[in-house]
Amino acid sequence: MFLTEFLTVIVVHLLAVVSPGPDFAMTVKNSLSYGRRIGIYTSIGMGLGIGVHVFYSLVGVGLIISQSILVFNIIKYLGAAYLIYLGIKALKSKPANSLDYQVNLTEEKISNLKAIGVGFLTNVLNPKATLFFLSLFTQVINPDTPILIQTLYGAEMILATIAWFSIVAIFFSHQLFKEKIIKFKHHLERAFGVILIGLGIKVAISSRD
């Protein structure tokens, strides 16, 4: 009975999650900088962030956030500041030869837990994600749909998010890809730094429309 609704949720969320944005930029950056494992843990953090959006949508807090200019702006500016901060850090990337690159990966400049935290904050502080999930749970999902079924929808979106960004991490951390970009990896990291700063500014000046 809920199959059509479930398929709609899958398609709508899939279109949203594959669209380039802060999550994509952060996954690629961490995969290039620290390797596959850190990229995948970043993806897990983003999935946990989705869990937060799903939770407050289920309990109705998302509506409060969307209707309160103060709360929405707090989330918006925190998210913007965080993206700009990460972008500035990426701009400080330095050139590295093949040996240095492998040493950096071995030393794991950031821990698995920190990678999860970066992914989590990147996702959960995105005000557009707040509005997306509010729209999803009010316009796509029927209010009469049992909470258990809605929770299953949420679980699917969490797993789909982790799966998609894990694929992104695996691709950008592949050995063949890394061998091609070692010499100009720092340029890519700086480019992603600029992208993150740009996304942060975009978030800061965005409205709820």
Domain presence at residue 49? yes
Domain-located, residue 13: no
Which token pair is 39?
Answer: 């990229």
Q: Residue 69 falls within a domain, yes or no?
A: yes
pLDDT-based confidence at 89, cuts 50/70/90? confident
What is the pTM (predicted TM-score) of this model?
0.77
Domain that residue 92 falls in: 33-205
Which amino acid, one-letter code, is at 202?
A: K
Q: Give domain status of residue 55, yes or no.
A: yes
Split into its structural domains, the chain has a count of: 1
- Please tell me which residue, 195 or 44, carries the higher pLDDT value: 44
Residue 143 DSSP label = T
Q: Which amino acid is at 61?
A: V
Distances (CA, A) of 132 to 34, 106, 126: 30, 38, 10
28-to-21, 50, 96, 120, 177 alpha-carbon distances in Å: 11, 19, 18, 15, 12
Residue 127 included in any domain: yes
* Element counts in the chain: helices (H) and strands (E): 11, 0
Give residue-wise pLDDT tens across range 120-136: 999 998 878 888 888 88
In a domain, 117, yes or no: yes
Quick check: is 19 in a domain? no
pLDDT in tens, 145-178: 898 998 999 999 999 999 999 999 998 887 776 6
